[in-house]
Amino acid sequence: MSWLHKSYVARNLWFIRTLCQAEGTPVAAVRCYSTKLSPATSAASKASPTGSNVATERKSIVPPNYRYVYQEFLPDPKVEWRNAVREKLEHKDMLDRRANIDIPEFYVGSVLAVTSSDPHAENKTARFVGICILKEKCGLRARFILRNVIDHQGIEISFDMYDPTLQKIEVLRLEKRLDENLLYLRDALDEYSTFDLNMEPEILPEGAPVPVNDVKVVLKPRPWYARWERHNLQGVANIDEHTNERRRRKAEAVAQPWEKYDLMKEYRRSIPEEEQKEIFTEIYSQLHSLELARKKMKRKRTFVKPTKLA
């Protein structure tokens, strides 16, 4: 016991003795209580999750892949375009729409088949098959573009994800690509954008990771839709073949390789992880119930009732 602690205890005993003499209470009748918990009480408080001195951390129930599967639920990162009331109302409308139509998981590079209402079609419906080359925007404005080459003619159709005229969205091939968008397929050979209109769906095992298709496309000679040599593309094989020295110098002059180290710019164009968890926690219960209902219907469709009984 240090001399400082001894002086502290002696001063407290002197104060209690003086107080008891002033009130006429015998010193032996005074009981001193320690502020430290007894070993049993301390162990019980640590085991109890409601202990005030124990900092408990709640485990998130939202799966980590929700930020990629349901990215349209994340608001626009630009602060001047944010509106809390509008975002709440849009989330409610999006969940109501998902209760009426199955919007499956898909990414840029997946092959989809979309059936929509068309008053000019023979059966008042039109079905289009194509590869997803762009997926952008958020909320009710979320959209994606499908591309296919039919009769040597490239056709692209832009669909609003929550358009009420959409009747069915099928994923024929679920996969990812090396780049964020595939707009360069407009300048690639037709074989990379040609898909059979009667293509059968390729079913992945449940719980399997989404495969990444690392194919590198071959571009046609110029002119191009954009200056692809300036976009640092990973899925193109022959950009250097169609880029002369003058274009290469211009691309190096406008390049900004330091942007990947700009943390502030990355913060401005993304949603913080804490805010993402808060958003998905609010809508998790409804999305999870819709997923369970979709899996149940999928199991029912895969079951084929035998025509003859043994």
- CATH number assigned to the domain with residue range 65-292, chosen from the 4 options 3.10.129.10, 2.30.30.790, 3.40.140.10, 3.40.50.970: 2.30.30.790
Residues of the chain with pLDDT under 70: 1-60, 300-310
- For 5: left if phi > 0, alpha if psi spans -120 to 50, otherwise beta; the answer is alpha
pLDDT at position 52: 46
pLDDT at position 32: 47
Entry pTM? 0.77
Digit-coded pLDDT (tens) for 119-148: 999 899 999 999 999 999 999 999 999 999
Report domain extents, the chain. Answer: 65-292
pLDDT at position 35: 43
pLDDT at position 56: 44
In this structure, are residues 109 and 213 in contact, taking their beta carbons and an 8 Å threshold?
yes
